[in-house]
Amino acid sequence: MERIQTALAKARAARERKLEAVGQPSSAKSALSGHWLDLAKLSLDMGVLDSNRIIAHNSTPGSASFDVMRTNLLRTLRLNGWTRVAVTSPTAGCGKSTVTLNLAFSLARLADIKILVVELDLRHPSMVRILGARPGQNFAGMLKGARPDLSQIRRWGKNLAFAISSNAFESPAELLSASRTADMIDEIEAMLRPDVILFDMSPMLVNDDAIAFLDQVDCALMVAAAEETTATEVERCGKELAKRTQVLGVVLNKCRYLDRNAGRAYPE
Ligand SMILES: Nc1ncnc2c1ncn2[C@@H]1O[C@H](COP(=O)(O)OP(=O)(O)OP(=O)(O)O)[C@@H](O)[C@H]1O
Ligand SMILES: [Mg+2]
């Protein structure tokens, strides 16, 4: 565990040096300026969002569990100087994209922070559909290119941006593990200076796509589906994650029976 912490600290320090090198000191974070304000606008269909269980854009009793999650997450990120959070699960369909987006919209209700959602479940991109966005964005295609192209990232409202893709990618593990991809993400972070980057990843136990990218994140959240994900799957996924990053906790999703006071499980 100590080795991982040291490796993560080194990786973050290297990234900070890159940010300083492009003239974007940490203090530039949160400012709504420059590249961030230049991002093209993304139009979303709020009716589609609601029907896809993305509800945290408004403060309602339904969003309360995501608000608690966001507060715990922000505290952990700030305490550690982290920005990058992977959201993954043991198997497909546990609710990674739903949790990622609700967490993002909940965070976006805090006006003084900027949030970037990056869709890296490249074999099965779903965010264009879930968000009711117009097809056309191709962040995955951009990653294959020579340099970051911010026209592939769109902003909704003042402080929430999406790097999403309309098209699927056949075998993304090589792309996700490439040092060029790591550089590209560093450069995008340096230009946009988000306070939080949420990476919607593929499931851990199905292929090596998520594993290929985990060196690039500061921490990870695991989403498990109540009555679907087994204890063994949670344990295997947790072990795989812990080899590569800091595991913040397990989000128990799809609970049919909720303690009125408990909401979803959330990381401490
Ligand atoms: N809390 C929930 N209660 C009921 N259904 C849910 C819940 N969360 C997500 N779902 C539904 O489960 C399905 C899978 O959700 P989602 O796409 O977020 O999962 P995923 O883990 O991202 O899937 P994939 O691995 O295919 O990317 C969707 O139909 C979604 O609406
Ligand atoms: Mg998904």
The pLDDT tens digits of the residues spanning 213-261 come to 999 999 999 999 999 999 999 999 999 999 999 999 999 999 887 655 5
CATH 3.40.50.300 fits 2-253, yes or no: yes
CA of 206 to the centre of ligand 2 (A): 13
Judge if the beta carbon of residue 95 lies within 6 A of ligand 1. Answer: yes
Judge if the beta carbon of residue 65 lies within 6 A of ligand 1. Answer: no
Note the pTM of the prediction, 2 decimals: 0.91
CA distance 95 to 99: 6
How do residues 135-163 score in pLDDT, each as one tens digit? 999 999 999 988 999 999 999 999 999 99
Instruction: Tell which wins on pLDDT, 29 or 108.
Output: 108
Q: Which residues contact 17 (CB under 8 A, 6 or more apart)?
A: none
CA distance 209 to 256: 30
Laid out side by side, the sheet with 115-119 consists of 40-41, 154-156, 160-163, 115-119, 196-200, 84-88, 219-225, 246-253
Judge if the beta carbon of residue 126 lies within 6 A of ligand 1. Answer: yes
Atom of ligand 1 nearest to the CA of 53: 31
Place 210 in a pLDDT band, splitting at 50, 70 and 90: very high
CB count within 10 Å of CB 10 equals 10
Sequence spans of domains, the chain? 2-253
CA distance 106 to 32: 18
Residue given tokens 């269980």 in the structure block = 53
Place 63 in a pLDDT band, splitting at 50, 70 and 90: very high
Compute the average pLDDT of residues 127-134: 95
Instruction: Tell which wins on pLDDT, 25 or 98.
Output: 98
